[in-house]
Amino acid sequence: MTGVPLCDLQAQYRPLQSEIERAVCRVLASGQAILGPEVAALEKEVASYCGAAYGVGCGSGTDAISLALHALGIGAGDEVIIPPFTFFATAGCVVRTGATPVFADICPDTFNIDPEQIERKITPRTKAIMPVHLYGQCADMKPIWEIAAKHGLPVIEDAAQAFGAEYQGKKAGSLGAIACYSFYPTKNLGTYGDAGLSVTSDPEWTERMQVYRLHGMKPKYHHQVVGWMGRIDAIHAAILRVKLPHVDGWLQKRRNAASRYDRLISDAGLDGWITRPVEAKDCFHTYNQYVVRVGEGHRDALVKHFQAEKIGYEIYYPMPLHLQQCLKHLGYGHGDFPVSEAATRCVLALPMFPEITLEQQTRVVESISAFRSQATPMRRAA
């Protein structure tokens, strides 16, 4: 019985190995390991890829979000509206500025923040709205832009999972005031370690982010604000520059793989039993993850089956942020965000990477079918 990995990074590395090694050696030989020409070139290339004017490379996607919040002057007493169904960084960065994350529930079909829930959360203390483009698909930006414009609020894109995603033909990264990317290895564009980047078209915010990523230092040894050491390593910039020209091809392969899953699931008669991901209107989904919904109460049994069958999977995310121990002081409880809470009980990410083969995907879907035929009758997927 052959297993299928959730993600296979080696499959992407192998064809680029010599080019990546040359890029790394170029940095080592140059003696310029911190910032320098590789970082400047990556910042320019990523900004131009996504239709923004400037990029600021940093240590991680988490740093990118922190830089954006600091550049916008967000701190104690301020509120930032975010979804509760996302990776912890979205909320953690807000808390660490001293501001308060205010949650707005998600849409049940796309798992992205629900614009209707945003508006009722706006108070005089609201300083920004930060939608997350979850699983590689942009949030429903048009109504978010309208709400933001009406209340004079900047929009920060948490685009960590959505490099290359589009909304109304425009790339994630050009859909708000500042957008934040992660180059964590398994993201759409990933390096071999931690790195991130923020993009914006505002020169003033760019300069502030450059200052915050260097301990608020400007000029040298004079600190206007308290920043931190949040630079991107030149080695990662060089690796990412090798990979960037390939990213569109990889996204197309992810989309092809998603279509194959759609067809295999449908042909196996599994529709209604599991719910396939929804590609929303105006969205170019990049399938950083292919996440299905499994009939409530049965996801965890399927997970055990996958473990036995060596099928890779992940649950993004098993607990919503409003119920996390460290955010207890915000005073939320069970039932406050029912759509997010329901999502945590039924989502399941299937193996997904650009190089996944039809055989591997067939194996995954056959495994689900086998589980279904031996399982007790189930309620239909939500």
Ligand X SMILES: *Cc1c(COP(=O)(O)O)cnc(C)c1O
Applying CB under 6 A, which part among 100-108, 136-144, 157-165, 303-311 lies near ligand X? Answer: 157-165
Q: 329-363 burial, b if ≥16 CB within 10 A, otherwise e? A: ebebeeebbebbbbbbbbbbbbbbbbbbeeebbeb
* Binding of ligand X by 97 (CB under 6 A): no
Q: How far is the CB of 65 from ligand X (least distance, A)?
A: 6
User: Which of 110, 174, 182, 344 lies at the binding interface for ligand X (CB under 6 A)?
Assistant: 182
Q: Which amino acid is at 63?
A: D
Number of neighbours of residue 8 by Cβ within 10 angstroms? 17
Nearer to ligand X, 39 or 368 (CB): 39
| Binding footprint of ligand X, residue count (CB under 6 A) | 15
Q: How far is the CB of 196 from ligand X (least distance, A)?
A: 5
Nearer to ligand X, 49 or 184 (CB): 184
Q: Which amino acid is at 6?
A: L
What is the distance between the alpha carbons of residues 322 and 221, in angstroms, rounded to a whole number? 40
* Binding of ligand X by 164 (CB under 6 A): no
**Residue 95, token pair as written in the block:** 């808390």
SS (H, E, C) 175-207: CCCEEEEECCCCCCCCCCCCCEEEEECCHHHHH
What is the distance between the alpha carbons of residues 194 and 34, in angstroms, rounded to a whole number? 15
Q: How far is the CB of 288 from ligand X (least distance, A)?
A: 8
**Residue 205, token pair as written in the block:** 């915010």
Nearer to ligand X, 60 or 174 (CB): 60
Site string for ligand X, 119-148 (x = CB under 6 A): -------------x----------------
* Binding of ligand X by 158 (CB under 6 A): yes
State the number of CA atoms in the 13 A half-sphere of 302 facing the CB: 31
Applying CB under 6 A, which part among 59-67, 218-226, 271-279, 294-302 lies near ligand X? Answer: 59-67
Q: How far is the CB of 60 from ligand X (least distance, A)?
A: 3
Q: How far is the CB of 62 from ligand X (least distance, A)?
A: 3
CB 137 within 8 A of CB 280: yes
Number of neighbours of residue 177 by Cβ within 10 angstroms? 19
* Binding of ligand X by 160 (CB under 6 A): yes
Nearer to ligand X, 57 or 61 (CB): 61
**CB-closest chain residue to ligand X:** 61
What is the distance between the alpha carbons of residues 28 and 39, in angstroms, rounded to a whole number? 14
* Binding of ligand X by 317 (CB under 6 A): no
